[in-house]
Structure 1
Amino acid sequence: MDSRDLGPHVTVFDPGMPVSQIQAVLDATHARQVNNEMGTERYAYLFKPGVYGTDTQPLQIKAGYYTEIAGLGASPDDVVINGKVEVYNRCLGDGGTSNCLALVNFWRTLSNLTINVNAKGQDGCRASANFWAVSQAVSVRRVDIRGGNLSLMDYCTAGPQYASGGFLADSRAQTIINGSQQQWLTRNSSIGTWTNGVWNQVFAGVIGAPSEAEFPTKPYTTLDTTPVSREKPYLFLDAQDQYQVRVPSAQTSTRGASWENVLTPGRTIPLSEFFVARPSDSVQTINTQLARGRHLLLTPGVYDVAQSISVKRARTVVLGIGHATLTAVGGSTPLQVADVPGVIIAGVTIDAGTQLSPVLLQVGKKNGNNGAGNTDPSDPTTLSDVYFRVGGPHIGKADISLEVNSDHVLIDHTWVWRADHGIEGFSGDTERWNTNIGRNGVVINGNNVTATGLFVEHFQEYNTIWNGENGVTVLYQNELPYDPPTQAEWGHDGVLGWAGYKVADHVQNHRLYGGGVYVFNQNNPSIRTENGFEVPVAPGVRLHHIMTVNLSAGTINHVVNGLGDAATSEPGHIGVPVYLREYPAR
């Protein structure tokens, strides 16, 4: 397949191209995208196997919004960047010289390559690390970082330098500087040293992870292995220069990167077995191709979806590149997955439209799962880097963003976001509350569902509801909505507010490792929420390392089920987390 068939916003680099030419292309895109938070442009930059940049002329890449940087090797070692791949703070005050932070550095991807850190030409501070100052909806996968530090904050600008990420998986690094990152999940990787932590730092299956013995003084949650994992599919070129998609297999109780000394376990599918879609393709065309047994590659762009893209065949792969985005039209459900095993949805963003959708992504029919025969524990349907938005670039309305009805589903990194800011033109938070409608972010009805990296924010009732048995969450991050106008509009059945994480009363078995619920009721600071977490009292329901924190307005009375001190905005309490090591206490 010719690289041009991947769409006009995909650029494939060859190691024979001059470094200056590659640098100029990437610099031009960064200049367009560095502040283009709510724009429609989408880009993927893919590197054929080889070496890019030299000791004297390094390739120093900066990634802006909706930009994917990825290698096309079978292994991360097949593509080597002598230089850097970076994200810096955005400085939003005084003409770009103050109020520097990474709190809205969303929607970008780095994967499947090696970075030999080379800072030649940069000043002393910039030369001290490869900076990756990001927040939600940003993934780093299959990356080997050598010869320098990886900093998850940008400490080279004026303050406050805050960051609110993030996700690193299937990677290898030496010293990682957490810095100001409020929460972070590192999964199935190898690291040398991890420095500091803010509120909620979770490690699962990480060689070299810090101990959690000093929690909460050091806010680390460490699982020796990851209960269920599957690495994200990736595009690569084989020895005949033909495009293939490697689809990693699901694993249990794993530790370390999947590619160290071996080929990542899984299957390889020729790209010729995919329908390579562009935003101009109709849903009818896409569904016809899926029905014929083809997989689906979504090239960069925004797809208007007025009827559901329907994935009915077991083990179908839907892979988006360059932050391909599906936008609901006319109240549609943009993506529906049948009760079948092994479907993979990866690298896709789903936006609510201006008319109310019942759900944005539905996995299995509600009340339609007839039992374990429809699913396979060894081959779970998997969502990797699947992101949701209700509002932001335009008015959005969706009753539920993600609904999982099937059993044996793996959610590996998602950000489910009802927008707290955007370009919709609202006069204030009250208009946002009454217009951008999002009742629940995530509703889990299936059994044996695992989530590794579950980020859910700002929904108008329970942000997450877990109705299924034997659920497992490894890192949960939630901000309650900023915009409730009154206490009467933020509560139910005599209860103040809605918990950020709700496990249904009937559930007998559930595990959560490393969870945080944050409050910032900027529209009405007098508003209270009774509990950050609500769970049933049952021997099989256990929460390990949970916390609440106040970001400057409103109050959460308790961490969980009436236990734990209040997270308040009183002097000395803002930004100070309230921790519980275990619930129930042992």
Structure 2
Amino acid sequence: MTPHSPRARRRVGAGITAALIAGGVVAALPTSVAAHPRDHGAPAGDPDFGPNVTFIDETWSTDEINEFLDSVNDEPEFSQDRHQVFFEPGVYGSAAGEDDPATAEGIINAELGYYESVDGLGAVPGDVLINGAIHVEPHVECPDTPWACQGPGSLTRFWRSMANLGFNPIQRPTAEDAERPFPAGVAEPHQMRYAVSQAAPLRRVDVRGDLTVFGRFGEYASGGYLANSRVEGTITTGSQQQWYTRDSEVGTWDGGVWNMVFSGVDGAPATDFGQPAGNDAVGVKTSLGTTPVTREKPFLYRADDGELRVFAPHARTGTSGVNWSTDAAAGDSLRLDDFYIARAERDTAASINRKLRQGKHLILTPGVYELNRPLRVTRPDTVVLGLGYASLTPTRGNAALVTGDAPGIHVAGITVDANVPESEVLVQVGKKCPPSWAKGRGHGHGHGHGHAHLGHHRDGDDPITLTDVFVRVGGPWVGKAVTSIEVNSDDVLLDHIWAWRGDHGNGIGWEDNTGAHGVVVNGDHVTATGLFVEHYQENQTVWNGEDGLTVFYQSELPYDPPSQEAWTDGDRLGYASYRVADHVRRHEAVGLGVYSYFWNGVDIRTESGIQVPETPGVTLRSMTSVFLNGSGGINHVINTTGAPAVGSFASPQVIAYPTS
């Protein structure tokens, strides 16, 4: 067993012993979840998804549901345990007390924890209606004076999700929070809280009331992502630094700090980025009428004949509003007989790849999969669907997952953890680029020739798609990877990606969890909707392909460069986060935020957060740099344009580039 094997870290005892560590991060000793008295495995006639997948139906009492949800929502931040919860179609909880949450009885009311996904099995979200709330609250640092401790708040509320659910929001505090003098979980009538940051998507939800996405006392938050959803009332963003909403319906949108982006959202606020907004404020919102390319995430649902199936939506262009159809025109309804259902405790890379070669789709049930070779997904239209934050980790310096250059492959809902020895790449889409392009750690300098020969130009209506793919370098253990995600194919869609070189947790340090690039795009016609890339040591996102498009980008520069000399790109101060290579002639990006927090007490600068070639076909809109804390900062927003982001939460903006 390798020193960094997750199997060496299985849970060792019962009960949580939580402790605050440096930086306000909550750590906890592993724990065991008590066995629930109910049989919560798959219903008779369904495949066996293993012990980490729970099916709740209307025979469960409200107390049983709340008790069970409370038993799986207390994982520590870097736990190796994973949970997937499914609600069968039905109505759960009582709406009788909806106007007064403090006295409401019989409601579903629980918090959502790390590595927990809660999904409905209806054909449309309202087929599972929850009277109550499954909510996310910030970490409470100062129970007696919570308004005085805004950090960490929700800054580490990662790795959790909900989908395909309808909510009649009725929320109140739970468990120990209810005993605090100022409970975090108090909400207004008809309001649910989802105070998250990265890797915590809401998809295909129907909130029949209001949604707030920040803490009750204004705690810091750095989310987030909402797609294919409807919120009838008001979404209140408060302290959320940035947020991306795609193809949804909202009643009213209230607030925004630095970078709020909407595409294809009915009811979205008008674009006001960079415009005066009163009280010496400037606008931070950017709205696009449609989303250029979308492909919704595959999901399990209960078909009319009672069978569980996976619905794999088709890709679409120029979309807006919700699309909850499961008709044949909207996608393919796939029988589970066509899937291999993998289990981490029994499967290896060899056993999974054998099934993929035989033509099976793949469901990865919750767990940590140790892989001595990459999973290879090569057949067109193959679906790889992770449940409950199923995690892949390489053990021999290999990649975790590699796709062929075949149309329609869809990889969704997986987390990838770097390990040691170092991997050159963790997730590779399409064949490796030719040697003339293989610049290793020099990708961003723009050498080479055109990209027409990279991969085969496929029909853009059936793109390879990565959805909710989250990569970590460090955090659970020491990990090293030169590039986290490399895209070599053309016509690829990246929808909600978080590539994260860890800034806290285990194995953290400038020489320990090494990672040069989060995302490198070598293919042409690649679209990213909701791209989060943070803390890598060189150019974090490198775009070498032509006709690339990014809608929403969020990035923090690495916190930990020990000196300017250690973090210098040739004769240029620091590294730009978002780097379009010098040879690229056509590229577009909308809604970009790059933030700095150099915490070693050294005046470290980067010349600009965004670096692009100066050519008419490369255009960007709605860009900001932000000084979060620490020393040093960002000299320009893009190239040599934009004021410095240095000190006192400076957040200069550039509305468009080129500027004329």
The bucket for the TM-score relative to the shorter chain is: over 0.9
Displacement of 1:3 in angstroms is 5.2
* Partner residue, 1:364: 430
More displaced 10-residue stretch of structure 1: 181-190 or 90-99: 90-99
Cα separation, 2, equivalents of 1:17 and 1:378: 43
Displacement of 1:95 in angstroms is 9.0
* Partner residue, 2:441: none
Q: Which amino acid aligns with 1:483?
A: D
Matches of residues 315-394 of structure 1 in structure 2 within 5 Å? 315-367=381-433, 370=453, 373=456, 375-394=458-477
Displacement of 1:516 in angstroms is 0.6
Displacement of 1:218 in angstroms is 2.0
Cα separation, 2, equivalents of 1:532 and 1:558: 7
1:243 is the counterpart of 2:243: no
Q: Which amino acid aligns with 1:292?
A: Q
2:62 maps to which of 19, 31, 34: 19
CA contact (8 A) 2:535 2:557 kept: yes
Query: What is the aligned-residue identity percentage?
Result: 45
Displacement of 1:74 in angstroms is 1.0
TM, length-normalised to structure 2: 0.84
1:516 is the counterpart of 2:593: yes
* Partner residue, 1:190: 249
Cα separation, 2, equivalents of 1:240 and 1:20: 30
Unaligned runs of 5+ in 1: 427-431
Cα separation, 2, equivalents of 1:343 and 1:96: 50
Matches of residues 94-493 of structure 1 in structure 2 within 5 Å? 99-100=149-150, 101-119=153-171, 125-128=186-189, 129-146=191-208, 148-155=209-216, 157=217, 161-173=219-231, 174-213=233-272, 215-216=274-275, 217-259=282-324, 265-279=330-344, 280-367=346-433, 370=453, 373=456, 375-424=458-507, 432-493=509-570
Residues 269, 320 of structure 1: alpha-carbon distance in 2 compared, 3 angstrom cutoff: same
Cα separation, 2, equivalents of 1:372 and 1:356: 26
1:361-397: CA deviations, max 9, x gaps?
A: 0001122695674522110000000000000010010
TM, length-normalised to structure 1: 0.94
Q: Which has the higher strand share?
A: 1
Q: Which amino acid aligns with 2:459?
A: D
* Partner residue, 1:578: 652
Cα separation, 2, equivalents of 1:398 and 1:469: 25
CA contact (8 A) 1:135 1:165 kept: yes
SS across alignment from 2:306: coil
Q: Which amino acid aligns with 2:291?
A: T
Displacement of 1:240 in angstroms is 2.3
CA-based RMSD? 1.9
* Partner residue, 1:562: 640
Displacement of 1:127 in angstroms is 3.4
Cα separation, 2, equivalents of 1:259 and 1:25: 29
Displacement of 1:18 in angstroms is 0.9
SS across alignment from 2:156: coil
Residues 189, 94 of structure 1: alpha-carbon distance in 2 compared, 3 angstrom cutoff: closer
* Partner residue, 2:87: 47
CA contact (8 A) 2:272 2:284 kept: no
More displaced 10-residue stretch of structure 1: 176-185 or 14-23: 14-23
Cα separation, 2, equivalents of 1:80 and 1:338: 40
Q: Which amino acid aligns with 1:9?
A: N
Q: Which amino acid aligns with 1:61?
A: A
Residues 125, 39 of structure 1: alpha-carbon distance in 2 compared, 3 angstrom cutoff: closer
Count residues with an aligned counterpart: 569
Cα separation, 2, equivalents of 1:260 and 1:285: 34
More displaced 10-residue stretch of structure 1: 88-97 or 231-240: 88-97
Residues 95, 436 of structure 1: alpha-carbon distance in 2 compared, 3 angstrom cutoff: farther
Cα separation, 2, equivalents of 1:102 and 1:3: 37
Cα separation, 2, equivalents of 1:367 and 1:355: 23
Cα separation, 1, equivalents of 2:142 and 2:118: 29
Displacement of 1:92 in angstroms is 3.1
Residues 272, 434 of structure 1: alpha-carbon distance in 2 compared, 3 angstrom cutoff: same
CA contact (8 A) 1:510 1:542 kept: yes
CA contact (8 A) 1:486 1:524 kept: no
* Partner residue, 1:429: none
Displacement of 1:278 in angstroms is 0.6
1:484-536: CA deviations, max 9, x gaps?
A: 00110000211100001000001111111000110101024311110110001
Cα separation, 1, equivalents of 2:168 and 2:382: 36
